[in-house]
Structure 1
């Protein structure tokens, strides 16, 4: 869990995508997240976390639906939602937390 703290304790917004390869909705988010990362460059960070490989973390954060998206800034969760989102919505949310 200490690595998780290092991932989210940044002074830029960090978008976490909890996904699974077997989830069609998760797979549909991949190009959206690439667009978000490309649009924001070094002003935000996008991190994908496979729930099958990070089950303890997913359980600790009570991830139930996929994909589950979270925005952290300075180690604090600022936003969370399950389900698909579009790139413009995510970019707007990340800009709000810069």
Structure 2
């Protein structure tokens, strides 16, 4: 599955099915720019097993506020619409892959 951009209005629909990794980011954030290619690699490596959604916190303050996003990048894992893990800051590919795979293999 491709990486998708979502907004306040489309957020709930984006996180409803399966495991979704949400990247809360901002265009002026250096670490956010550095994590973008890591997320692309993760998407390729997991071959569509997870949805990756990006939320620009500057343009979507409701969603960022709803989840208490205080620093960026913040990555949140959702499983069937429920938050299951939060990862703050720049993370290596192996760490993100392990976190996602853990939730892909657990039952809700």
TM-score tier, shorter chain, comes to: over 0.9
Report the RMSD for the aligned CA atoms in angstroms: 1.2
Give 2:69's aligned residue: 63
Query: Residues 30-57 of structure 1: CA distance to partner in whole angstroms, max 9, x if unpaired?
Result: 1111001111122101111111111111
Give 1:76's aligned residue: 82
Aligned pair partner of 2:47 in 33, 41, 44: 41
Supply the distance in 1 between the matched residues of 2:33 and 2:49 (Cα, whole angstroms).
Answer: 24
Do structure 1's residue 86 and structure 2's residue 92 form an aligned pair? yes
Runs of 4+ with >4 A deviation: none
Do structure 1's residue 10 and structure 2's residue 17 form an aligned pair? yes
* TM-score calculated relative to the size of structure 2: 0.84
Counting matched residue pairs gives 97
The structure with the greater share of residues assigned to helix is 1
Give 1:20's aligned residue: 26
Task: Flag structure 1 segments of 5+ consecutive residues without an equivalent.
Answer: none
Task: Flag structure 2 segments of 5+ consecutive residues without an equivalent.
Answer: 1-7
Give 2:57's aligned residue: 51
Supply the distance in 1 between the matched residues of 2:13 and 2:53 (Cα, whole angstroms).
Answer: 12
